[in-house]
Amino acid sequence: MSIINVMWSSGSPFSSVHKVHQQIISQLDPAVDIKTWFLQGEASGCAEPVTQVREWKLSSRLLKERHVWRLLKPLLQFRMRKALIESQAKVVLLDGLGVARVLLPILKDMPDIRAVVVFHGATKMRDEQRLMFQQFPAERMTLAAVSQTLAASLQKTLQIPVIGLRSALEPESFCLHLLARKQARRVLDLPSENMRILGAVGRLVSDKGFDYLLDAFSQSLVRHPDLNLVIIGEGPDRGVLEHKIKQLKLGSKVFLPGHKPGLAKLYRGFDWVVIPSREEGLGLVLQEAVIAGVPVLVSDLDVFREQLGDAGHYVPVADVPAWVAAIEQFTAQRGDDVSASQHQALAPEKAWEQFRHDSRALLAPHP
């Protein structure tokens, strides 16, 4: 059997999406022929291993059908249809709404191929996009989301079934690659191994909530001047955050080391992990931190409650006074006790086995 894994783009901004798709594909029989398509970007920019790569090198204007570029849409569809036929693919795995919008109209009239669409985050859909999913032959399409929370939201929007495929990590393998505290801090270029550090991880974009986290952290320093904050990631809001750090006079207390290759190895360099996201599809950072044995403080989002239940420490989104109080209370607790409770709630071994089972079922060819 041949499967094509179609991604919007390569590069660090899409690394979490690549990771989820690679986890899904890794559960298949090794005899399955896997091909990977990048609509944009190059395979060299992908942190996850990929095989039999085809780089389409399409422009954003063409993919989004802007202005005169929409005239080229029929040619693009012809080329892709021809490539799909030549691939002899039985299943096509699509990365969310953007890729589905490009490929589903082509696949609709290819009865020998089944489409599987995996959604990774909150998605705003126009009426024509909802119709695209609703009018696709139901027996040849499976929609999945990386959490039950996201699946329920999408199902309400689309009025068709969406499977909850809660993404998970293989805990034993993940822990094997973790660096010890001292090594991790050396990689992070931190000036002292004895610093008390709050860690945050994610793209530097508004949805991650790093802007208001800086406000809360600044106020926390009044009572806890020994705290430091490290935000790992890169993105378009770097300039905004750097300006805010300067404005709040946090230059010696907040570190923005950018995107770090091998990020998953570094969690033990933190004393705590904070996740102030305004919205999330799943939040792999939560899983990575908990499996690494680092306690997490998170926004009060349904998707985080889905994973941590009563063991979570939740704070209202963008409520700066609440975050100031939570940081004070959280950092006063024994980290080992909190992380043990959160690890038990997440149950990573059980979650991984369920994910393996669901992934195989997701991509199995229908009779």
Domain ranges, ordered by start, for the chain: 2-165, 171-347
Please state, in angstroms and rounded to a whole number, the distance separating the CA atoms of residues 72 and 66: 10
2-165 and 171-347: identical CATH topology: yes
pLDDT of the residue at 64 = 73
Give every residue of the chain whose pLDDT is below 70, as ranges: 47, 65-69, 365-367
For residues 7 and 279, give the distance between their C-alpha atoms in angstroms, rounded to a whole number: 22
Please identify, in words, the CATH class of the domain defined by 2-165. Answer: alpha beta
**pLDDT of amino acid 13:** 79
Residue 67 is predicted with a pLDDT of 62
Nearest-angstrom CA–CA distance, 4 and 340: 40
The whole model's pTM is what?
A: 0.89
CA angle 283, 281, 278 (to 5 degrees): 80
Residue found under tokens 């071994």: 349
Q: What is the pLDDT of residue 58?
A: 86
Distance between CA atoms of residues 13 and 53, nearest Å: 19
**Angle, CA 136 vertex, CA 135 and CA 140 arms, to 5°:** 150
Does domain 171-347 fall under CATH 3.40.50.2000? My reply is yes
Average pLDDT, whole number, for the chain? 92
- Give the span between the Cα atoms of 37 and 81, in whole angstroms: 13
